[in-house]
Amino acid sequence: MAEFILQSKKLVKTYKIDSPSPVYAIRGVNVKLKKGEFVALMGRSGSGKSTFLHQLALLDVPTSGYIEINGVDVSKLTEKERSKFRLQVLGYVFQDYALIPELTLYENIALPMMALGLSRGEYDSDVREIIRRVGLTGREGNVPSELSGGEQQRVSIARAIVNKPEILFADEPTANLDSEAAKAVLEVMRELVDKYGQTIIMVTHEQDDRKYVDRVIWLKDGLITEDK
């Protein structure tokens, strides 16, 4: 087994690389993450946090550099293998929840299981267990508009972890929430780490969020300036 669940080496992402004014969003980032770590990525707006997260979560392709996840050099994957890897090994939570409004809470969470071709009999107990972990038992039949922002974000976390991903990525998951709802979301994530050994990388600009995490990595102008 690899010593680190995730590693990046000299990771670079340059946007508009062929234009007269390229954007050097990340400029050579090295990071090593252990299983079961809860890491916050912090830094000012424009420092490259989302770009870095997108590269690590395989939502984008870096300009250069190396990413290894679970011992796999992800640059070696074909497009098809990459999609499968993303679906089976990684989970992603968006700031705006990105739930499907017509589907119930239960159906939203079951979606990744359906995408893997499983039948309800195969995923039902897993889906119910995950709903319990995020504290939403009893709300299975509600559609997103019947849930608060904090509840919707917990549905989005549940959907991201239902396939038991090795790593959960979250980009400013509490940015749209009031402080009470944000606290509930962060407590859910902390519990996933403590009880189930989930590895989480979360982008945030909230200073207060630091008390929930094990490690804070600061980015400035596309480079790590502090890691502790």
Binding residues for Mg ion (CB under 5 A): 49-50
Smaller CB distance to Mg ion: residue 49 or 159? 49
Q: Which of 42, 76, 2, 9 is nearest to 171 (CA)?
A: 42
Dist CA 146 CA 152 (whole Å): 9
Question: Which residue lies nearer to ligand ADP by CB, 48 or 144?
Answer: 48
Q: How far is the CB of 38 from ligand ADP (least distance, A)?
A: 19
Question: In this complex, which beta carbon is closest to Mg ion, that of residue 153 or of residue 163?
Answer: 153
31, 43, 131, 162: which one binds ligand ADP (CB under 6 A): 43
Determine which residue in the list 49, 86, 154, 159 makes contact with ligand ADP, applying CB under 6 A. 49
Q: Give the side-chain half-sphere CA count within 13 A for 106.
A: 13
Span between the terminal Cα atoms of the chain, in Å: 25
Please identify which residue in 45, 119, 145, 207 interacts with ligand ADP, judged by CB under 6 A.
45
Q: Tell me the three state secondary structure of residue 76.
A: helix
Task: Map residue 77 onto helix, strand or coil.
Answer: coil
Q: Which is closer to ligand ADP, CB of 51 or CB of 108?
A: 51
Which one of 47-55, 64-72, 132-140, 148-156 is the stretch in contact with ligand ADP (CB under 6 A)? 47-55
Pick the binder of ligand ADP from 7, 50, 198, 199 (CB under 6 A): 50
What SS3 string covers 124-146?
A: HHHHHHHHHHCCCCCCCCCCHHH
Cα dihedral: 49, 52, 58, 60 (round 10): 90
- Contact footprint for ligand ADP (CB under 6 A): 15-16, 23, 25, 43, 45-51
